[in-house]
Amino acid sequence: MSQTLLVIENLHVTVEGKPILKGVSVELAAGEVHAIMGPNGSGKSTLSFCLMGHPKYAITEGRILYQGRDIAALPPDERAKAGIFLAFQYPTAIPGVTIANFLRSALKAVRVGEVSIKEFRQLVKAQMKTLGIQDGFMNRYVNDGFSGGEKKRLEILQLAVLQPRLAVLDETDSGLDIDALQVVASGINAMRTPQRGILLITHYQRLLNYIKPDRVHVMVDGVIARSGGAELALELEREGYKAFKPGVCVS
């Protein structure tokens, strides 16, 4: 029986005093992939930032349990060390910092210890091959002048190097052409293990053509309007978000 990895329980969140999440409940087991879909402004990205501990997002009711522990008081760095990872919808450029230095520093911080150059190179080289990334990529500055596809590949490379227990991917398919989408989806599928949970946040069903979720949750106006299996994404593609009204979550 799978271990429950994440429990989001009646979560209410405000941003600068404005209510955004209005009672979200989701339970994710280790080994599962859940997709959260919804229109712009529904609260999807708010949920991702809240899970990672962004101080701008205030929990006013409910709780987040990660591996049975309430993490509401944990700062983002402690959540990362505990095994939570967030891939951003709009990754930030860091001119002057090479990808190699960035990834090694991140790995050392998460592991809380030294990582040998040999071990690091072997780990990164294997993951770069999976993602079709050329060797020269590591000498470039983080996201500086990157295309949308390059930014998203770097996010998945970080995921592969850091090996978190819980991966939250915020609109990883945004801005990708079909070739880049297939490569990124392949990288995500390679990260599916019985020990890891993945929360995919997306607008569109197209990503789910390549990554089959165990559960789909449709978020509208800060609540989960409906939950179901992978077929729910196909219904959403046919009917659009207008057919999904906030209310009781239906299995």
- Give dist(CA 4, CA 105) in Å, integer: 30
pLDDT of residue 49: 96
pLDDT of residue 250: 42
pLDDT of residue 246: 59
124 phi and psi, to 5 degrees? -70, -40
- Give dist(CA 12, CA 88) in Å, integer: 22
- Give dist(CA 20, CA 68) in Å, integer: 25
Nearest CA among 64, 27, 30 for reference residue 191: 30
Task: Name the strand (E) or helix (H) holding 128.
Answer: helix 117-131
pLDDT of residue 1: 54
Q: What is the amino acid identity at position 192?
A: R
Q: Could you tell me the CATH superfamily of domain 4-243?
A: P-loop containing nucleotide triphosphate hydrolases (3.40.50.300)
Q: How far is CA 233 from the centre of its chain?
A: 18
Which long-range contacts link 242-247 to residues 24+ away (Cβ below 8 Å)? 244/218, 244/220, 245/220, 246/220, 246/221, 246/222, 247/223
CA distance between the termini of the chain: 20
pLDDT in tens, the chain (251 residues): 569 999 999 999 999 999 999 999 999 999 999 999 998 889 999 999 999 999 999 999 999 999 999 999 999 999 999 999 999 888 999 999 999 999 999 999 888 777 888 989 998 998 888 888 888 999 999 999 999 889 988 999 999 999 999 999 999 888 888 888 998 899 999 999 999 999 999 988 889 999 999 999 999 999 999 999 999 998 888 888 887 875 444 44
Q: What are the tokens at 33?
A: 């992939």
Say if residues 206 and 228 touch (Cβ distance below 8 Å).
Answer: no
Contacts of 21 (CB under 8 A, 6+ apart): 11, 12, 13, 43, 46, 47, 50, 222, 223
pLDDT of residue 249: 42
pLDDT of residue 60: 97
pTM beyond 0.85, yes or no: yes
Say if residues 142 and 154 touch (Cβ distance below 8 Å).
Answer: yes
